[in-house]
Amino acid sequence: MTKPESPFFTLLFTISLLMHAQSSYKQIYIVYMGEKNNNNWDEFSTQSLHHSMLLEVHESIDAAKESLIYSYGRSFNGFAAMLSEEEAAIISDMEEVVSVFPNLGLELQTTRSWDFMEFTDDASKLTPPFDGRNIIIGMFDTGIWPESESFNDEGLGPPPKKWRGKCQTEHNFTCNNKIIGARYYQSFGLEEQFKSARDESGHGSHAASVAAGREVVGANYFGLAKGTAKGGAPNARIAVYKVCWNMACYAADILAAFDDAIADGVDIISASFAGYLQSRFLFNPVAIGSFHAVKNGILTIAAAGNQGPQRGGLANHPPWILTVAASTIYRKFVTPLVLGNGDVITANSINTYNVKNISYPLILGGDATNFSANYIPRESSLCFPGSLNSEKVKGKIVLCENSEGGAGVQMATGAGVIAPNRPQQNYAENYLFQTASISNKEISKVSQYIKSSNKPKANIMFSETMEDKDAPYVASFSSRGPNIFNHDILKPDLCAPGVNILGAWSPIASPSMFIGTEDFRSVEYNIISGTSVSCPHVTGAAAYVKATHPTWSPAAIKSALMTTANPMDPKMHEYEKEFAYGSGHVKPLYAVDPGLVFNATKEDYSDFFCKEGPRNGCKSTKALKPWDLNYPSLSLAVKDGNAIKGNFVRAVTNVGMPKSTYDVIIDVPHILKVKVEPSTLAFSKVGEEKFFFVEVTGPKISQVPIISGSITWVHLNHIVRIPIVVYTILPCMEFRNSSLNQHLN
């Protein structure tokens, strides 16, 4: 048997050798073994199998048992164990093993500054069971604060009968009819106060409230965003799987949670984390876990990541995942910065300090160098932690020429900071003291003012709420496509609100998310940003669709959400277009009645999974090319300098009116010639499936970041739109030489 080569092995082995200079160093490895053995899962026999495999590399059964961290077997086969690199290599050669990879940590996708270490009311008027009370959402995150008002169970009956999960009650964690299950996974000891599903960082509570929080009137963050806080599916049940601790989520824990959640009977899984070291399916815990989920009829919704705005940083790329980008909403927060000379600058940050509206003395970081620690003014102008002289900075606002400068000012006991925006920053952030983020041009202006005044002063005022007429547009932090692993699958799939969203918080967590720092404020609701936040919006929407159509497949739910999405304004995203927002902005109320869906079976996904590399027991039976997966978007990657040429086949299933005739509308720029055959689809009953073929041609292109348009099927009020993108791949972007890249022409 040939096995695909792990992209992690070389890298990780090099690192561990560097770190320990001895190969006996042990760490946790995940051993993935594909499908579970049989349907009568039994913990004892599964563990015995894994023990016996470990016995091959250990002297005694006791040592083998001791090395086992997790035995997966409820939903798929595999285990996690403490191994040396040699032992891992021996196990990876065993016949039944599919892949072996180290227990790397993924990160939660919330924006954090200075990192030094719309649903309408209609949804809630639905009647049971279509109001979502039968839907169980598995939240894979930092746990939850069970006492939050957002998770009260008023009016909800006992959990759905299919529920087979459990509630781990350590640290007074109590479940109710809203939070029906709670489990936690910790493959190694990270410092946290509670070893329980209780949320210590706030993140998991926020995500759960965005997806499925109950209605809470008057929720706000220091008076900002005041209104009714409510999740997308307020009656859906929440099953908590705590896999993230202090912002890191480890592979072994993520797989353990998938193994349980699938067997527990969740309907939807929401995962707000992403790994920047993304890899092929077989070495990627989210790809493996979500693959087994989709085979069991469960859709996984995941964050695209916060690696924007540069291209190609996108995570969670498999076609069976619904990958979500983050966009802005109509409301934004701004902070007036008033200089001593009366000039007012509108800053890009959330400031909930300075309630008394006080002006502070203002100083340039470059004028407050800590010379005794051997720093030079150039360094202190960037406010590196330690570079500032605290005697000069104390009680003052410091102008820094570095967007990460706040940490240094905070350390030197400054009163606040004025710093430049991050590159292309188009959102405001929440900080742990008074902060004004402004453009580089404005930085020069403030700098000139400081130099020209003998008593420079500034007032960073309490934030104000403003209407944002340009919204929605994709946040600069949101990760962009293309999908460098599977060029034929357009990613992200959708965008949803992910900027400055109010949600439940853990009262023991710092609202500015600085772990172990000086922010001791306690809040019940917080405003945060990230694809971590847009992901649960789509989770709520998916729960809503699933509640209305309990028998729909994950592919059908995903298709419904994508084909009904609101197109985004390409002019706001000129160079990236669909690579920023996919099909567009999610629109849950339309998604329940999409007219047509692009369906896919488990076998279609298995086939796609198998094409990634030969593997034990994996037969890629279909002749289908990966770009012919029935995906509700079309992506054509062209090798640099070649002509545009691609053919696609798609099938649509009628889920609207029995008798309906759809006509096609092709909307593409002149450079593309797109033919759709047939141009009319006449359905006579619900459930009927019809094929259409798309031919895309055009001239030779070179270094074209993206050309895009759409194909739309229309029947009365049903508008079924799929985007089509054409782009060139430069040699440097051919990241993986996978068998999936043969669409290149």
**Quick one: which of 343, 391, 518, 663 contacts ligand NAG (CB under 6 A)?**
391
| Closest distance to ligand NAG from the beta carbon of 74 (Å) | 22
- Residue bearing tokens 């919204």: 471
Can you tell me the distance from the alpha carbon of 401 to that of 148, in angstroms, rounded to the nearest whole number?
Answer: 40
Can you tell me the distance from the alpha carbon of 680 to that of 402, in angstroms, rounded to the nearest whole number?
Answer: 57
C-alpha pair distances (Å), 103 with each of 215, 284, 390: 38, 10, 41
* Residue 89 phi, psi dihedral angles, 5° rounding: -65, -40
Q: List the one residue out of 432, 438, 433 whose CA is nearest residue 400.
A: 438
- Active-site residue list: 141, 203, 532
Query: Is 257 strand, coil or helix?
Result: helix
| Closest distance to ligand NAG from the beta carbon of 550 (Å) | 10
Contact segment (CB under 6 A) with ligand NAG among 157-165, 177-185, 538-546, 551-559 equals 551-559
Closer Cβ to ligand NAG, 31 or 556, answer by number: 556
Q: Is 655 in the site for ligand NAG (CB under 6 A)?
A: yes
Q: List the one residue out of 401, 477, 397, 479 whose CA is nearest residue 439.
A: 401
- For the sheet containing 689-700, what is the strand order? 596-597, 643-654, 689-700, 673-677
Q: Is 374 in the site for ligand NAG (CB under 6 A)?
A: no
| Closest distance to ligand NAG from the beta carbon of 208 (Å) | 21
Site string for ligand NAG, 581-610 (x = CB under 6 A): ----------------x-x-x---------
> Where do the H-state alpha helices sit in 111-250?
203-212
C-alpha pair distances (Å), 106 with each of 271, 314, 320, 536: 11, 13, 19, 17
C-alpha pair distances (Å), 354 with each of 317, 345, 350, 522, 707: 43, 17, 12, 17, 48
Q: Which of residues 336-365 bind ligand NAG (CB under 6 A)?
A: 338, 357, 359
Q: Which string of DSSP letters, residue by residue, matches 543-572?
A: HHHHHH-TT--HHHHHHHHHHTSBPP-GGG
Closer Cβ to ligand NAG, 409 or 499, answer by number: 409
Closer Cβ to ligand NAG, 129 or 336, answer by number: 336
Q: Is 372 in the site for ligand NAG (CB under 6 A)?
A: yes
Can you tell me the distance from the alpha carbon of 294 to that of 281, in angstroms, rounded to the nearest whole number?
Answer: 14
Q: Which of residues 320-339 bind ligand NAG (CB under 6 A)?
A: 338
Closer Cβ to ligand NAG, 318 or 613, answer by number: 613
| Closest distance to ligand NAG from the beta carbon of 600 (Å) | 7
Q: Is 187 in the site for ligand NAG (CB under 6 A)?
A: no
**Number of Cβ within a 10 Å radius of residue 372:** 7
| Closest distance to ligand NAG from the beta carbon of 507 (Å) | 14
Closer Cβ to ligand NAG, 160 or 385, answer by number: 385
| Closest distance to ligand NAG from the beta carbon of 731 (Å) | 12
**Quick one: which of 307, 327, 553, 635 contacts ligand NAG (CB under 6 A)?**
553
Closer Cβ to ligand NAG, 111 or 148, answer by number: 148
Closer Cβ to ligand NAG, 78 or 406, answer by number: 406
Strands (E), 640-688: 643-654, 660-667, 673-677, 680-683
Can you tell me the distance from the alpha carbon of 525 to that of 206, in angstroms, rounded to the nearest whole number?
Answer: 8
Q: Which of residues 435-474 bind ligand NAG (CB under 6 A)?
A: 459, 461
Q: Is 386 in the site for ligand NAG (CB under 6 A)?
A: yes
| Closest distance to ligand NAG from the beta carbon of 379 (Å) | 12
Q: Which string of DSSP letters, residue by residue, matches 446-471?
A: HHHHHHH-SS-EEEEPPPEEEE-TT-
Contact segment (CB under 6 A) with ligand NAG among 158-166, 440-448, 545-553, 697-705 equals 545-553
> Where do the H-state alpha helices sit in 575-704?
578-581, 588-591, 602-610
Binding residues with ligand NAG: total (CB under 6 A)? 25
Closer Cβ to ligand NAG, 422 or 487, answer by number: 487
Q: Catalog residues that contact ligand NAG under the rule CB under 6 A.
A: 171-172, 338, 357, 359, 370, 372-373, 386, 389-391, 412, 459, 461, 551-553, 556, 597, 599, 601, 653, 655, 737
